[in-house]
Amino acid sequence: MNKAIFEKMVEFYNNNAATHNYIFGIIWNDNVYMVKTTSTILAHVLKLDKASRGKGYCLRFKPNRKIKEMLMGKNTRLICSKEMFTEVVNNSKYNKGEIFEKLVTELYGQVWCKDNVPFTDDGDLTVDKTKYQIKFEGASFITEKQMVRMESEMSRQVS
């Protein structure tokens, strides 16, 4: 892993995110859990991965067993069985991340609708005036190409 790129991408994401609160979705012992946490753990739970279609590197939430064990020691809540989750995903036009976001949103008594609001503008869910980004296993945070484009746009706005 290129540690310098990883650290720069985590720092850039943190500096530009609309929220520093997260709800991560993980599969553990054949169940789907949500884990509420903050950005203080991002450097411990994210990986530098290859982005698709020539976009350089990507920050991705791909927790291994050790990371999942650490997350299970945080503020966790059972969402459903892995079997039920898989069935819902298979019978939907939405992917795992979108279904997880929908289940969490509905758990808080809110109506979910798919959106494409940038991470710099808002969270995915607001509960008791606290904004959260919601990420399920395999989710990407930002690509290197996206970061470079945003840096360029920000430098143009300053000049």
The predicted-structure confidence for 31-45, as pLDDT tens digits, reads as follows 999 999 999 999 999
pLDDT in tens, 95-128: 999 999 999 999 999 999 998 899 999 999 999 9
Asked whether 5 and 49 are in contact (CB, 8 A), the reply is: no
CA-to-CA distance for 7 and 82, rounded, in angstroms? 33
Give the number of domains in the chain: 1
Q: What is residue 1's predicted lDDT score, i.e. its pLDDT?
A: 57
CA 9 to chain centre: 14
The per-residue DSSP string of 97-146 comes to: HHHHHHHHHHHTT---------TTT--SEEETTEEEEEEETT-EEEEHHH
Q: Which domain holds residue 152?
A: 3-158
